[in-house]
Amino acid sequence: MKKTKNSYKKSGVDIKTADKFAKYIGKYSKQVFKKKVNKFNKNNIGNFASVFDLSKLKIKNPLLVASTDGVGTKIEIANYFNKFDTIGIDLVAMCVNDLIVQGAKPLFFLDYIAVGKINLKKMKKIIKGIVHGCKISDCALVGGETAEMPGVYSKNKFDLAGFTVGVVSKNKIINQDKVKKNDIILAIPSSGLHSNGFSLVRTIIKKERLNKQIKKELLLPTKIYTKEILKLVKNNLINSAANITGGGITENIVRSVPNNLTANIDLSKIKIPFIFKWLKNKNLTDIEMLKTFNCGVGFCLITNKKNIIKIKSYFNKKFKPYEIGYISKSKKKLSLVNSLKW
């Protein structure tokens, strides 16, 4: 009896399909790479490592800032609705929004995609989202990795991770040290749920019949704040900032305040979008909402009150910052007053 020969393809890994996808990425990523191409990095996609030329950056005393993140179980929502064109935007957003908290300009981005089996149509949509996110944040997609891992991920399952590096001048870096008593706290609206709290969301929607509006809201991509925040940094309008991700506003704002000062937040001033009100009605407490979701606040700024008008001028109507609190002197880092208005 003739024995069937073993092969990598029979074990579930198709190298030819992976190569096709890599070539597609190389071609498509040029949309956010042309301006930064030079003799060192013109063939980044497909190389063993990526190169970025810093010599043309006119920044005195530059500091490199790095961030890595994923999109969590929002991936399962994309699978649930079979919609993959925006999850890549989320991936870029989760990384670059952390960079700009320090005032850093994103320079380049790398992605990691792990799948059970490569589906070219699906993967191309994911990459298009990543490229679009890089365009919004003016960031070069210089490389990445696609791993086909049958047995680790079932056929339709996948995971995403991103890594980005930015740069900021020493005299422009944002940290807690600049925060002062009587500074105000501004909330910048989120675009929706962003990429946090989806394990709870998935538990809720299993028991619900969802209309078109809810489906759309659940997959709205994370707002990328890069352009607006970097303009504020350039004009010295920010003392500190916070990206409101996992843990919500209460756990993230305290990361941007020094130990001798207190962030005083008036919860009643927070403007709560529809999707959070819908979730709240699924038997969730205010405490659960605050620690799980952004509740409509995607990013926070701490600044001198005299800067409010200038700061608002850099944002369109949908994402116009508004005051939700102030900084005082106290031993505790956070003080909450009033309740969220549902």
- Measured between alpha carbons, how far is 162 from 94 in angstroms, rounded to an integer? 8
Q: How confident is the model at residue 180 (pLDDT cuts 50, 70, 90)?
A: very high
Mean pLDDT to the nearest integer, 327-342: 95
**What pLDDT score was predicted for residue 54?**
83
All structural domains of the chain with their residue ranges: 15-169, 176-337
- Measured between alpha carbons, how far is 309 from 254 in angstroms, rounded to an integer? 25
- Measured between alpha carbons, how far is 125 from 116 in angstroms, rounded to an integer? 17
- Residues 268-298: tens digit of each pLDDT: 999 999 999 999 999 999 999 999 999 999 9
Residue 192 has pLDDT above 90, yes or no: yes
- Measured between alpha carbons, how far is 77 from 71 in angstroms, rounded to an integer? 11
- Measured between alpha carbons, how far is 179 from 148 in angstroms, rounded to an integer? 47
**What pLDDT score was predicted for residue 30?**
62
Residue 179 has pLDDT above 60, yes or no: yes
What is the CATH code of the structural domain delimited by 176-337? 3.90.650.10
**What pLDDT score was predicted for residue 176?**
92
- Measured between alpha carbons, how far is 294 from 250 in angstroms, rounded to an integer? 9
The larger pLDDT score, comparing residue 303 to residue 208, is at 303
Q: Which CATH superfamily is domain 15-169 in?
A: PurM-like, N-terminal domain (3.30.1330.10)
**What pLDDT score was predicted for residue 41?**
53
**What pLDDT score was predicted for residue 70?**
97
The values of phi and psi at residue 106, to 5°, are: -65, 135
Pairing status of strand 261-266 against strand 322-329: antiparallel
Mean pLDDT to the nearest integer, 193-206: 96
Residue 15 has pLDDT above 70, yes or no: no
Residue 332 has pLDDT above 80, yes or no: yes
| E strand map for 116-155 | 140-148
**What pLDDT score was predicted for residue 137?**
96
Q: How confident is the model at residue 47 (pLDDT cuts 50, 70, 90)?
A: confident
Least confident of 72-76, 139-143, 286-290: 139-143
Residue 296 and residue 340 in contact, taking contact as beta carbons nearer than 8 Å: no
Measured CA to CA in angstroms, residue 285 lies from 7, 43, 139, 196, 290 at distances of 54, 52, 39, 17, 9
Residue 208 has pLDDT above 70, yes or no: yes
Mean pLDDT to the nearest integer, 183-187: 98
Mean pLDDT to the nearest integer, 73-94: 96
Beta-bridge partner residues of 62: 169
**What pLDDT score was predicted for residue 1?**
55
Residue 144 has pLDDT above 80, yes or no: yes
Q: Which run of H or of E encompasses 166?
A: strand 158-169
Q: How confident is the model at residue 27 (pLDDT cuts 50, 70, 90)?
A: low
Mean pLDDT to the nearest integer, 217-222: 97
Q: How confident is the model at residue 221 (pLDDT cuts 50, 70, 90)?
A: very high
Closest CA to 176 of 232, 98, 230, 239: 239
